Amino acid sequence: MTRDSVEFYKFLGLTQIQQLDFPENKFSLYFLAYNGPKSLQGDRHWTDRNAVLELTHNYGTENDPNYSVANGNTEPHRGFGHIAISVDNIESACKRIEDAGYPFQKKLTDGRMKHIAFAKDPDGYWVELIRRHNEDVGTTTDTANYRLNHSMLRVKCAETSLKFYQEVMGMTLLRTAENKDAGFNLYFLGYPAGNPKVQEDAKNPVAEWEGLLELTWNYGTEKQEGPVYHNGNAEPQGFGHICK
């Protein structure tokens, strides 16, 4: 990441809750999160939150005009997809981001899906914007109402990955979205503790949640030989990891 990314995410309402510097190894880690209603209760440690974004800055990259990261969405290095932030008023939120000069991969008016948008951070990573509620709330937007909803990863085999995240990592499968015409399924997993109840009657039953993992399975990838997706840690680097 570039240092501009920290300011971008602060602009989206996240608070920097920790910074770890490793000058001998020439990198720093920045941890950001939303201060939701349960985030600051008591003397909870900063890691005891439903969702935290970790940004890694390697010293000197901000002065390298040729430096770039693999955002996970371009061939042949697809893998990581995006993070998603749920907002109170998506039209106002998008306008605020656009007015600040940040680019979009997909605006609300683009394509068939008029209910989501994808902004791009200063490093080119995609940030999906979704509604927290069935409809927009109010006529303006307040970042105090935003939530870090999920991170999306593409997976080769849905069955194998679901078994890993459920049985090994202890996550709960909360929502499945089948898109047979487009040839892919989405699986949303999370930890119920500290999150609200699933709103079964909502358009997006888990839009109020934080810290979800979205797995995207494209039909047929499970039949391909060898690795299908780039993990972000081999060159060219980009996405690093998720953390339990």
Catalytic positions = 128
Structural contact between residues 169 and 138, judged by C-beta atoms closer than 8 angstroms: no
Burial class (CB in 10 A: 0-12, 13-18, 19+), 186: middle
Q: Regarding beta strands 126-131 and 104-106, do their DSSP bridges make them parallel or antiparallel, or are they unpaired?
A: unpaired
Supply 198's token pair: 């699933």
**Burial zone of 178 (CB within 10 Å; 0-12 exposed, 13-18 middle, 19+ buried):** exposed
Query: Which residues does 198 contact at the CB level (< 8 Å), separation at least 6?
Result: 174, 175, 205, 206
CA dihedral 148, 78, 158, 182 (to 10 degrees): 90
Contact between residue 14 and residue 32 where contact means Cβ atoms under 8 Å apart: yes
Q: Of 188, 180, 220, nearest to 204 (Cα)? A: 188
**Distance between CA 40 and CA 201 in Å, rounded?**
29
